[in-house]
Structure 1
């Protein structure tokens, strides 16, 4: 697994979804904004507590996660 130091998981924050630095901003929310055509500048205006690196790492995490293969377990 790659190292994503800005992506955190906490079952008490956003139901355990991957969030940016433990804040109530999910990776999915950031990726969704980018997919909807929002620029980094616009996202940073909407969420002034985010940093450029947060957006970049959210996209990197989403790309890495989409490439990950899940293999079903063989029944015992």
Structure 2
């Protein structure tokens, strides 16, 4: 997903400025944590019925983009 920015919002007045899904109070971190715990897309959509599969994919794309930009000084 190249256009994840239409799904991921950052508002300093919401959730302490953490990246959220479509302005909802659900953070990218929360979605990724569920995936890391082994939950399926269907499990997450059951926990958060206001999300879509595209929202979950946007979280993954955002995380991949952020991770790709991290540089560790050696």
Gaps (5+ residues) in structure 1? Answer: none
State the TM-score, normalized to the length of structure 1. Answer: 0.85
Deviations 1:41-60 (A, max 9, x none): 00000000001100000001
How large is the Cα RMSD of the aligned pairs? 1.7
After TM superposition, which residue ranges in structure 1, 4 or more long, deviate above 6 angstroms?
none
Show structure 2 runs of 5+ residues with no match: none
Higher relative contact order (CA 8 A, sep 6+): 2
What number of residue pairs does the alignment pair up?
Answer: 71
Q: Which of structures 1 and 2 has the bigger CA Rg?
A: 1
CA deviations on 1:11-41 (whole Å, 9 max, x unpaired) are 1110000000010000011011101100000
Give the TM-score normalised by the residue count of structure 2.
0.88
Matched with 1:22 is 23
